[in-house]
Structure 1
Amino acid sequence: MTEDSRSRELAAALTATRERIAAAEAAAGRASGSARLMIVTKFFPAEDLARLVRLGADEFGENREPEAGRKVAQVRTELPEADFTMDMIGSVQRKKARTIARWARRVQSVDSAELTEALASAASKALDDGHRSTPLGVLLQISLDGDPARGGVVAEQLPALAEQVRGHDGALSLDGLMVIAPLHGQAAEHLAHAQRIAEDFRRDHPEAVELSSGMSGDLETAVEFGSTCVRVGTAIMGPRPLVSP
């Protein structure tokens, strides 16, 4: 595929996905722009990230470090004036907290006291040495089925973890919640449950406005049930490449 044809392919997919989100907002009676698009670029090269930035996309997510850090560094060098953000959306090893704190706007997968402490320490250092200028955003990951292999905490554990994050004010910012729908069951049922949890959570933490839910296959349902950020990979990037970068 040529450079131009790949850019055209991404542009068409980006337009189609934005139209899906806009239609879902309208169907749900929500304001235009209230559900943002986050493009998940895992397994695709930094060149694709740069193409999407040139096409006007500005929110991205990655599952793996150091792949994410390398991509961000490459694109910021290539496009120094570009204004885009990258979130860590996958499980985080505590030993990688220091490097993640240097490039991530947010970590969307915080699910333990130990990880919170590691991120707070890393963010504080990144602020001190100039690698970041704002606190590291945190989304607490909800587990709807209690499956430890998929990460997250059950709703009853959220208050204690939230207070721990708030205890690191200045280094961390409690921005909201993230959910990955369980593998089994109806997406609508799961995402409605996540919405109820988020509404309850905001009563005690009104600053935690984000609910990151929904992916390529269920983004309309996620928008219906309050998602502020849909994480879309395949619908824009296409099938996973045979060889990852």
Structure 2
Amino acid sequence: MTASSGDIRSAEDHSNSRSEELAAGLTSTRELIEQLAKDFGRQDVPELLPVTKFHPAADIALLAELGIKDVAENREQEARGKAEELPDVHFHMIGQVQTKKANHVARWAHSVHSVDTEKLANALNRGVDNAGRESLPVFIQVSYDGDTARGGVALDGVEELAKIIEDLPNLELRGLMVVPPLDTVAKEVFSAVRELADSLGEQLKRPMKLSAGMSADLKEAIAAGTDIVRVGTGIMGARPLG
């Protein structure tokens, strides 16, 4: 059945409208990040990584037309499908990764922000080898309160995991990632992990980045010196129903 000209125009109108929404979200988010960086006397502006989980590949294609080449996803199967559909976009994994899915993640992820165990690090290292790619940038996810059930390695385990990753030939440690637990003060969490990242960087003789801060705690993360902020709703709007 052939689509009518009316259906085609309707689809085009929807695409144009959605593109305008995304452009507005990007502009306002960037302006906010730049203003906060200025307010806190920073000489740099944190990198913006749009979080596109639950949103269709069509939205990400529109973001690409707006100049966005890097996005973040939380769920492996969903991200894999989008990566296959949009090979020119870099997809970053920020959600927990099951060891059994590490081989898949190593094939599509431009980086993984949620490495929290030796077992996962080894699985990703093997996955990179199987995929025939050169290396995979990774971040260690930190569990500030030590409750690793929600993902992350406890503060006192970060250095040991960093050493393990450093010895794996196919992984490249880029820094630390943290999400503040609900019952904590975000500013304190971000400051502590920023300090830990800097200390680790001194040991490794190269800068370690901090991936921290989402829509609700953007101000606190930028004040603490995050290098990467992960924003979803502020750019994408509410997640689609269904």
TM-score by length of 2: 0.91
- Please tell me whether residue 75 in structure 1 is matched to residue 80 in structure 2: no
- Of structures 1 and 2, the larger Rg is shown by 2
Decide which of 99, 102, 115 is 1:97's aligned counterpart: 102
1:25 partner SS: helix
TM-score of the superposed pair, with normalisation by structure 1: 0.90
Q: Which of 2, 6, 14 matches 1:2? A: 14
CA distance in 2, matches of 1:85, 1:152: 23
Tell me the secondary structure at the aligned position of residue 27 of structure 2: helix
Structure 2 alignment gaps of length 5 or more? 1-12
Output the CA distance in 2 between the equivalents of 1:41 and 1:228.
Answer: 19
Q: What is the letter of the counterpart of residue 153 of structure 2?
A: V
- The reply on whether 1:45 has 2:56 as its aligned counterpart is yes
Paired residues in the alignment total 230
- Out of 108, 113, 125, the residue aligned to residue 108 of structure 1 is 113
- The question of whether the paired residues in 2 share the 8 Å contact of 1:177 and 1:208 is answered with no
Displacement of 1:57: 1.3
1:126 to 126, 131, 134: 131
Counterpart AA for 1:146: G
Measured in 2, the distance between the counterparts of 1:159 and 1:180 equals 18
RMSD: 1.4
What does residue range 1-245 of structure 1 map to in structure 2 within 5 Å?
2-33=14-45, 35-76=46-87, 82=88, 84-127=89-132, 132=133, 134-169=134-169, 171-243=170-242
Superposition deviation, residue 10 in structure 1: 0.5
CA deviation string 1:39-68 (max 9, x = no partner)? 110000000111101101122110001110
- Separation in 1, partners of 2:69, 2:37: 20
Find the aligned partners of 1:159 and 1:217 in 2 and give their Cα distance: 29
Q: Which structure shows the higher helix fraction?
A: 2
Q: For 2:160 and 2:207, how far apart are their aligned partners in 1?
A: 15
Q: Would you identify which runs of 4 or more consecutive aligned residues in structure 1 move more than 4 Å?
A: none
Identity percentage of aligned residues: 43
**Distance across 1 between alignment mates of 2:34 and 2:147:** 33
Q: What residue identity is the alignment partner of 2:145?
A: D
